Structure 1
C-alpha cells in the first residue's frame, strides 16, 4: 500500500517524548517495516488551531502544499493518527475526498461534553466532521470505543489496543545488577516511577507519589524511590522530595526508552498515580518486566492494569491509599511474586504490539482494496 500519514496533534519526529508520540511513531514504523510506502503528508501542527485564527492563513497554504504533495505520491489511502477536539484533522477529510481515496483515523476520540463550551465547540465540530467522513476509525481505549459508537457505524469502527514489543522489556538480571550497583541499591526495596516532569498533571502525579512514599521512608530506611524523567518541574520536585524523604528518593534524569528495561528489572514495584493518564505505556513496560503496579484507578491505569492481579489501584487523590498499597506490596513477598508472574502474561495476551498492529494492517489492506 501507499499511505499518506498525518499526525495533527504532534508530528512523529517531535523532540519531546510522550506516550502518544511513541504510539504514533510505532504505527508509522511498523507499516513501513511491513513493506508499505508511507508519506508524511504534513508536519503542520493543528493543536488548538480552531482557537488560533492568526494561524488560519498558514493552514490554507499548507492545505494547498499538502494536496499537491499527496497528489504526486498517489496514495491508496490517507491514515490520520490521533484526531480529537484539541487537534482536529482539517486536512485529511478534504484531501481524501478530492483524491477519491479512503480516509482512516487511528486513535479517534469523541466526547460530547466539548460541544457545551464555546471555546471547545469549534474543535469539537471539526473533529466530529472528520469522524463522520472517515471510512474507518480505530479506537484503542474502551472509553473512546464506547463514545465513538454513538456516531460511527459499527462496520466502520474497530476496537484495537496499543502495545509494546514484550521482548524489549523482559526482566534482565544483568541489567538489574548493573543499575543496583550503579545506584547503591543492593539490599534495598526499590520503587520505580517514570514520567515527564512537566508542570501539569505529570508533576501532580509525582507530587502525590512523593507524599505517599514519605511515611514509608520514615518507617523503612531500606526503601528507595527512583524517579526517571526530566522537565521544568524537576528542581521543585527534588526540593520537595528532599524535604519529605531525604536521600531515599533518587532522581535519575531522562532515561532512554531503550535502557528503561534495566531500571524496571532493578526495581520491585512500579508506581505512578496516573492523573488524567490516557493509557500510559510505562504501565505496560513495567508489567512486562514483572513489576506490580501501584496507581490511581483513573482511565489509563484501568486500561493497562488488572486490578488485584497485576497491580493495586486506588481512588484518585487518596494519598493514604497510595501509601497503603505501596506498603502492602513491599511487605508481602508472596503477593508481589504472584503479580510479577501475572504481569508479563497480561501484556503478551492483550498488548503485544506486533499482533495488534498486524490486525490493523489487514484492515487497512481491506479498506484500500475498496478504493473508490
Structure 2
C-alpha cells in the first residue's frame, strides 16, 4: 500500500461550495483510495486568482511558502506520493514541487493545463508557476484529448502523459430509465457559458414540431434570464429547481433523453450520469464533451440550434431509436467511465514508478 498526499489548489474537495471541480476532486480521491491506499488531503490552501491581481498573487505566494514549510516538517513520514489535481494558470500548484523535492517523493498531476498565451499579461507569473509545476511532474494524467494537445507541446523531457478518462464514482450502473418521459436538461443558471447553452437550447426548442415537454433541473443567479428564454413555450417547460443527488437520479430515470449544448464544458459530469442511466444525449460536438459521449454523429457547433433541434426531433419521433441509443450509451459508460477502470488505470501507472523510486 502507498500513502498519497492529495492537493487541489483550485478548490479543496471538502469545500462547502459545490462545483464540478470539487466533485471531480472528491471522485479522484475516492478512486485513488479504492484499493486500500490511504489518501490524505494535506492542504486546503486555495491559490486561485480570478482577476489577475498582482497583489493577491504575491499574498498567495507568501502563504504557499509558509504552508510548504509546514508540510515538509509535518506531513506523515510514510507519505509515498504527492498528487495534485487541476494545476493551471489561475490556480498553480505552489506547494507540491517544493514539498516533493524536500521529501524526495514522486510528484504527479491530474488534469493540468499549459496556457502559453497567459505567460504575458496579468497572470504571467502564475502561468509560469503552473508551467514549472507541470515540468516537475513525473506523470501527468489527462482527461480529454483537448488537454493532451498543449501537454504534448510542452512535455518536459521524458515525462509520462497518461489518459485517465472522466469517470463516475461508482462501481455499478444505476437503475436504467424506462425511456418514457419528458426531455431533461441539467445545468446551473449563471451568466457566461451556462446562459449561452440555455440560449442555444431555447432557439432549438423553437424549431421542434409535435408534442414535446422538457424538464429543467438547476438554479442560480441567472434564473430569471433562463425563465425569460423559456417563456414562449409555456407549460411545455417545467422548472424543477436545484436537485440533490437522489432527486437528480430520479429525474434521469423518468426521462427520455438529456439535451444540453455544452458551451465550453470541460467534459460535463451530467453527460456521464445521464448515459449511465440509459439516456441518450443530444449535445453539440465540442472538445471535452465528445470525450464523455457514446461515439455517435452529434451536431456540429456550426449547425447551430437548428442542428440540435434536428437531433432532438429524431429522438422524439422514434422512441425505439431513443431506447437503442440509450442502451448503447449505458454500455459505453460501463466499459470506460466507472471508478474501477479509473483506479486500475491510475495504479497501473503509479505502482511501478514507486517501486523504482523506493
Normalising by structure 1, we get a TM-score of: 0.87
Counterpart residue number, 1:192? 184
Counterpart residue number, 1:104? 108
Counterpart residue number, 2:40? 39
Alpha-carbon displacement from aligned partner over 1:319-347 (angstroms, at most 9, x marks no partner): 12112221121112232132122111111
Deviant stretches of 4+, over 6 Å: none
Going from structure 1 to structure 2, the CA distance change for 1:325 and 1:259 (only over 3 Å counts) comes to: same
Counterpart residue number, 1:325? 311
Deviation, structure 1 residue 30: 2.7
Q: Equivalences for 1:1-372 in 2 at 5 Å?
A: 1-48=2-49, 51-72=53-74, 73-74=76-77, 75-115=79-119, 117-152=120-155, 153=157, 156-164=160-168, 165=170, 167-172=172-177, 189-216=181-208, 219-220=209-210, 222-242=211-231, 244-308=232-296, 312-315=298-301, 318-371=304-357
Alpha-carbon displacement from aligned partner over 1:157-187 (angstroms, at most 9, x marks no partner): 21121111363534155xx8xxxxxxxxxxx
Going from structure 1 to structure 2, the CA distance change for 1:236 and 1:106 (only over 3 Å counts) comes to: same
In structure 2, runs of 5+ residues without a counterpart are none
Going from structure 1 to structure 2, the CA distance change for 1:76 and 1:195 (only over 3 Å counts) comes to: same
Q: Is the 8 A contact 2:34 2:343 kept in 1?
A: no
Going from structure 1 to structure 2, the CA distance change for 1:293 and 1:61 (only over 3 Å counts) comes to: closer
CA distance in 2 between counterparts of 1:304 and 1:61 reads: 37
Aligned with 1:10: secondary structure?
A: coil
Aligned with 1:163: secondary structure?
A: coil
Going from structure 1 to structure 2, the CA distance change for 1:260 and 1:369 (only over 3 Å counts) comes to: same
CA RMSD of aligned residues (A): 2.3
Q: Is the 8 A contact 1:297 1:316 kept in 2?
A: no
CA distance in 2 between counterparts of 1:344 and 1:7 reads: 30
In structure 1, runs of 5+ residues without a counterpart are 177-187
Deviation, structure 1 residue 297: 1.1
Higher-helix-fraction structure: 1
**Aligned residues between the structures:** 352
